[in-house]
Structure 1
Amino acid sequence: MAALPGTELGLRLLGRLGLPRPYRHVAPGYRTHAAALPGSTAISPDRIDEVGGGTLLLANPNNPDGRLVPPDRLLDLARRLGRAGGVLLIDEAFADAAPEASVLPRLAPEDRVLVFRSFGKFFGLAGLRLGFVSGAADLIGEMREQLGSWPVSAPAIALGTAAYADTDWILGTRRRLAARCEELDETLRRHRLYPKGSCPLFRLIETPAAPVIFEHLAQRGILTRPFDYAPDWLRIGLPANAEAVTRLDRALTDR
């Protein structure tokens, strides 16, 4: 394992590790993934099992659709890739909120895998710039060489240590996120908007009315995320509390 000054930098260093080609990344996904491996080819999430070699980069749970690939399936994929001299790269930025998604507890030392974990997505301190990469020892060693000495600040070490040690807060937050997601899903379905994804930090809806809904909610002070490459999509962040869910419900009723 190596600590990072945010997973963004770790991803940007992948192109310097001499990873096996060809490069592929799952899309739609993080824009950084396409840039992290120069010359990488985008593939659909439904085609990952077809990859027979080279390097594959994906997020699990995925962004922006929240799609979750079972970790056992990813482990099988990683080992098939490894036998062909390939490497699997998994961005688990949202996995602290959905620990069942993580492949980390299933990995063996010989598995040709790198797993990236973000601190800010779950703890809400993105500006602290803290993340981690775990996996094959030789690849981690190369990453450490690229990072150099003292890549993580003293405040990030202190706050990160305190946050990860607060297991009561972590477990309580996971329960609250799951409960709030149920409220959000019920609200969306009540308005014939059908949520997709398994990430408890947001939901994706797909409807031809997405641009109209975006404008309608924005005029009422509720910001959602549209996508230029998928105009029928709208990502809705998890409301902060019950009052925010009610506010969203009322705004959708008025449309």
Structure 2
Amino acid sequence: MQNSRKINHLIKFCKDFELNFLTFDHYAHGLSTGSFLNDPDGNVTIGRWFKDLCLLMKQETCGPQILIGSSMGVWLALLVLLKNNHLKNNVYGIIGVAPSINFTEKIWKEVEDLGLLDNFSKKVPTEIIYNRPSKYSGSGGYPISLHFLQESRNHYLHKEILGGKNISCPITFIHGQGDEDVSYHDTLKWAKLLTPDENAKEKVKVVLIPDGDHRLSREQDLKVLDEEIVNML
């Protein structure tokens, strides 16, 4: 939260429009407890983040919510809509910025190709670490445990999304066509999965920014985000 340009922008936006706004650092991120590097009990998981999101929505919000997720946050938002029967009716809409749905699927394949699974039977999954190169990390990479990747497979959305029967609210995806981390073609595919019939097509919208990158934090990018929030409101 502390260094996120999008978060700071949304805080100002919500103050200007007199809207309530909830944001938080996921477990092992920012000011929250937990550590990617020291996680012997395997608490750093997609499931943990999904559970925390649901808990905060239940305890700290009321009435209809617009869930705004960036990258992995879009995956978590869709999990609420598709897997939490108690909270899905509170989701008035979802706005996804540079969606990275099921992103660990790609990383799992990288781990397989690198042969890190060869020692699976000899080590505890939390001890098998893949230091994945990343231009967003000060150290040059993000440590990802095999346990994290294993657990994430429990939350893949293929089966839930196919058919789109559970989609009951408008969804807008914003994606930069210059995104080098997640292809905008993936977002177009997800949009099609969410729109199996004519009624669903009215609910799912994709906004492409020709020169946008993965972060979409430039002023012109944030202006597009503002417009889509206003449209949904």
- Largest Rg, 1 or 2: 1
The two structures have a TM-score, normalised by structure 2, of 0.29
The two structures have a TM-score, normalised by structure 1, of 0.27
